[in-house]
Amino acid sequence: MKYDIIFLGGGQAGVFGAYEAMKLNPNLKVLIIDKGRMLKERVCPKEKLGKCVNCPTCAIIYGVSGAGAFSDSKFNLDYKVGGDVHKIVDKNIVNDTINYVVDIYRKFGFNEEPTGLKYNTAMEEIKRKCIENRIQLVDTPTMHLGTDGSRKLYTKLIDELLEKGVEFKIERDIEGLIIEKGEIKGAKCLYKGKLEEYYSDNVLLAMGRSGAHKVMEMSHKYGVDCTNGAIDIGVRVEIPDIIMKEINENFYEAKMIYYTKTYRDRMRTFCSNPSGFIAAEKHSDSIVLANGHAYKNKKSKNTNLALLCTKTFTKPFDQPFEYAEAIAKMSSMLTGGKLLLQSYGDLKEGRRSTDEKLERLNIVPTTTDYVAGDISLACPKRILDNIMEFIEAHDKITPGFASSDLLLYFPEIKFRSTRMTLNENMMTNIEGLYAAGDGSGYGSGLNIAAVMGVLAVRDMVKKISKK
Ligand SMILES: Cc1cc2nc3c(=O)[nH]c(=O)nc-3n(C[C@H](O)[C@H](O)[C@H](O)COP(=O)(O)OP(=O)(O)OC[C@H]3O[C@@H](n4cnc5c(N)ncnc54)[C@H](O)[C@@H]3O)c2cc1C
């Protein structure tokens, strides 16, 4: 079967790309292939059973709407946050396209105003403290949908795609590409043990973080140009809301970047969830990663956020993905496939945490998917030193942050170690093969994934209409 456009991955980049395709030309034959299920069938048994039962395909990570479906959905309104596609596309085009995507959000019912547009005295004081302590505060306006709000929005968007004739092939594992004489001709996928082939001259690789490893393997196999990207390794921390009150109430999320004095490594805060919940994401049998989210209508008493160390390796080392994977495996080995949790107090004292010691704290963990232990047994010294230095620096902005009540869940890793070589239209060196979102190495957030999907499709449609 031949299609005008095939999306490999039905996440944020895929669904917004498909929306753009149907808007530009409703007669196009469009296919979305995804490893997971349709959004309405994406049900995590943990919601009923209270614990992870190791489904073969995790409904939280895989499925139509992608990682965004269960995410807190903070949508950043500036190119500076969510990726660095501005390295290959003019910043104004990125921002204009972000605004265009916001209009689509509004069309599907999101009507709240963004936060962080105007500074009040409290915000000025936070910024002043950041300047005083060598922390860069990346302050961009943000819209917050919440995990429940984003599900509603995606439901409406996907219903419209179905109505307009977009086809979905779900529960298909992308296995390979079909390339002839340097041009894309389609893709192969596995469905219930059988190999299927779908054909198109325009294919968007949009397999997100969950598909990043597969994208890397396919790039090497088919000669798609790419380079080693950075890898982000760190912890997700959880702290009582009262410690984060000023930041939460004024910024919702304050994105901070800090270069450590000891190693000059880059540390950053990421994805802060006021009154949120910790999530344990199972990426494979031996990899469980920490993450976090927040609902609009269900609240905890804790804020969670990631503290990530960005590592770029120099030659001859060229396996950052495997390096991070090995760290995650080591942690899972210690815990039997759960998150490794330690209080900051125990970490500083060089003692492991235990359930009994955690009960003496003022904070109650918002997940049970953890084993209390010692992070220093699994986390490389350099990364752990960086994390601890960043915690102490953060304490100067939010007093109480570096307290014993700070819980550290290990590991949180952002796998985006392959950076594809793309032109300004998101096309790779293979004619007709485009890439977008987290899996391309240029995205790390909803805004940039959608922007890349839209820009790629605009180029495809231009080419199709010339034929
Ligand atoms: C818990 C959590 C919270 C987050 N919170 C935020 C936030 O608040 N704000 C923000 O901007 N970003 C957030 N993010 C990041 C954001 O969700 C991603 O940046 C965004 O979804 C990337 O879009 P994408 O299209 O590149 O990939 P995804 O949305 O991940 O989509 C990739 C798709 O590819 C499919 N796929 C993967 N492998 C295969 C395969 N082998 N075969 C077939 N299909 C495959 C997957 O099923 C998935 O549907 C969060 C992420 C998580 C996990």
Where do the domains of the chain lie, and which CATH numbers do they carry?
A: 2-110+145-228+418-466 (3.50.50.60), 231-414 (no CATH)
Cβ of 208 below 6 Å from ligand 1: yes
Q: By alpha-carbon position, which residue is closest to atom 38 of ligand 1? A: 211
The span from the CA of 18 to the CA of 39, in Å, is: 15
Instruction: Please answer whether residues 245 and 251 qualify as being in contact, where contact means their C-beta atoms are separated by less than 8 angstroms.
Output: no
Cβ of 213 below 6 Å from ligand 1: no
How remote is the CA of residue 465 from the centroid of ligand 1, in Å?
30
Cβ of 142 below 6 Å from ligand 1: no
Contacts by residues 91-95 (CB-CB < 8 Å, ≥ 24 positions apart)? 93/455, 94/448, 94/451
The span from the CA of 145 to the CA of 71, in Å, is: 9
The span from the CA of 444 to the CA of 363, in Å, is: 30
Cβ of 174 below 6 Å from ligand 1: yes
Cβ of 62 below 6 Å from ligand 1: yes
Tokens of 383: 């990364």
Mutate to test the pocket of ligand 1, among 55, 215, 305, 438 (most ligand atoms within 8 A of CB): 438
Question: Which candidate, 242, 182, 213, places its Cα nearest to that of 362?
Answer: 242
Torsion sign (Cα): 445, 451, 454, 459: negative
Question: Three-class SS of residue 352?
Answer: coil
Cβ of 437 below 6 Å from ligand 1: yes
Per-10-residue mean pLDDT, the chain, length 467: 96 97 98 96 79 78 88 86 94 97 92 81 95 93 81 93 98 97 97 97 95 91 89 96 95 92 95 93 85 87 97 84 93 95 98 98 96 98 98 98 98 84 98 96 94 98 92
AA identity, residue 108: F
Question: Which candidate, 164, 225, 209, 163, places its Cα nearest to that of 25?
Answer: 164
Q: By alpha-carbon position, which residue is closest to atom 31 of ligand 1? A: 11
Question: Which candidate, 444, 232, 442, 445, places its Cα nearest to that of 456?
Answer: 442
Cβ of 439 below 6 Å from ligand 1: yes
pLDDT value of position 275: 96
Q: Look-up: residue for tokens 């599907």?
A: 108
How remote is the CA of residue 209 from the centroid of ligand 1, in Å?
6
Cβ of 212 below 6 Å from ligand 1: no
Radius of gyration for the chain, computed over Cα atoms and rounded to the nearest angstrom: 22
pLDDT value of position 132: 97
Cβ of 431 below 6 Å from ligand 1: no
In ligand 1, the atom with minimum distance to the C-alpha of 82 is 11
Cβ of 10 below 6 Å from ligand 1: yes
The span from the CA of 437 to the CA of 167, in Å, is: 21
How remote is the CA of residue 293 from the centroid of ligand 1, in Å?
13
151: enclosing H helix or E strand = helix 146-163
Cβ of 293 below 6 Å from ligand 1: yes
